[in-house]
Structure 1
Amino acid sequence: MSTAIGRAAPAFTAPSTDGDLSLKDLKGRIVVMYFYPRDNTPGCTTEGQNFRDRYAEFQAAGAEILGVSRDTLASHQKFKEKQGFPFPLVADPDETLCELYGVMKMKNMYGKQVRGIERSTFLIDAQGKLRQEWRGVTVPGHVDAVLDAVRGLA
């Protein structure tokens, strides 16, 4: 399944570092959901830190941030504590959310084809509609672009 701009974002309920989370629980708030390949890797750590460092600005604009990867809840808890992330990390080891949002791709790693998460971010408005998506994200400058888009919705 894939997502379409202007349509309802795919509904989900999934375990997170803050307990089970569902999209409907966040209705009335803007949601920034970013998918990243793996806890404790350089790019993923930097991306999370960038969202962490601008978290107060996202909150002021009415947005909640969710980080999603295939890592376990235990791995997420350690990653969140180590980095001081103020937002929940969602565990998706069975790739349910990844499939809903179409972020699983074949990637080249050290000359081998591997299936993994394509770094992607989705902006969902307060009514639960997908308003913008970023796929194949490069980390530098990304959080600024997402924050600008969030402010454009507020």
Structure 2
Amino acid sequence: MTVEIGKVVSPFKATATHGEFDLTAHKGKVVVIYFYPKDNTPGCTTEGENFRDLHDQFSKAGAVVVGVSRDSLKSHQNFKAKMAFPFELISDPDEALCLLFDVMKMKNMYGKQVRGVERSTFVINRKGVLVQEWRGVKVPGHAQAVLDFVTTIQD
């Protein structure tokens, strides 16, 4: 079962940089979940920096931002510390969240087909309903577009 726009997202718990991330603990807040392929790679670093630089504005809009990749918890902790990310990173090595959000895709890398995370972002409203998704994200301007959307959410 994967998530769908207009439907409540199934509650989940996942290992994150500061313990467990529990979706139900964030009810009443907007939750922005962005999936990215790999820690410490150019596009993923830039995307994280963009969310970091807008973090105060997301917080003022009542939103929680969290990043997800298949990297290990240790890799996430190092990446978060190095980049001074003020938000949590979820480690999803078994791809449970990646599968729930249907972000695993076949991609071309150096002429070979590889299975990897499609850069994607999801917004869950205060009632736990998925209200927006971006798939196949291009990094430039994306975090700002997400923030612009988040500031329009009424419920």
Interval containing the TM-score (normalised by the shorter chain): over 0.9
Aligned-partner Cα distance in 1 for 2:23–2:8? 11
- Per-residue CA distance 1:47-87 (angstroms, 9 max, x = gap): 00000000000000000000000000000000000000000
**Matched residue of 2:2: which SS?**
coil
- 1:32 equivalent to 2:61? Answer no
The equivalent of 1:148 in structure 2 is 148
The equivalent of 1:19 in structure 2 is 19
The alpha carbon displacement at 1:96 in A equals 0.4
**Matched residue of 1:94: which SS?**
coil
The equivalent of 1:135 in structure 2 is 135
The equivalent of 1:72 in structure 2 is 72
The alpha carbon displacement at 1:25 in A equals 0.9
The alpha carbon displacement at 1:2 in A equals 2.3
The alpha carbon displacement at 1:10 in A equals 3.0
TM-score of the two chains, using structure 1 as the length reference: 0.98
Q: Name stretches of at least 5 consecutive residues in structure 1 with no aligned partner.
A: none
User: What's the RMSD between the two structures over aligned residues?
Assistant: 0.7
Instruction: Give every structure 1 segment of 4 or more consecutive aligned residues whose post-TM-superposition deviation is greater than 4 Å.
Output: none
Aligned-partner Cα distance in 2 for 1:95–1:119? 14
TM-score of the two chains, using structure 2 as the length reference: 0.98
Count of residues paired in the alignment: 154
Aligned-partner Cα distance in 2 for 1:143–1:27? 22
- Per-residue CA distance 1:21-47 (angstroms, 9 max, x = gap): 111011111000000000000000000
Aligned-partner Cα distance in 2 for 1:70–1:11? 19
- 1:52 equivalent to 2:42? Answer no
Q: Name stretches of at least 5 consecutive residues in structure 2 with no aligned partner.
A: none
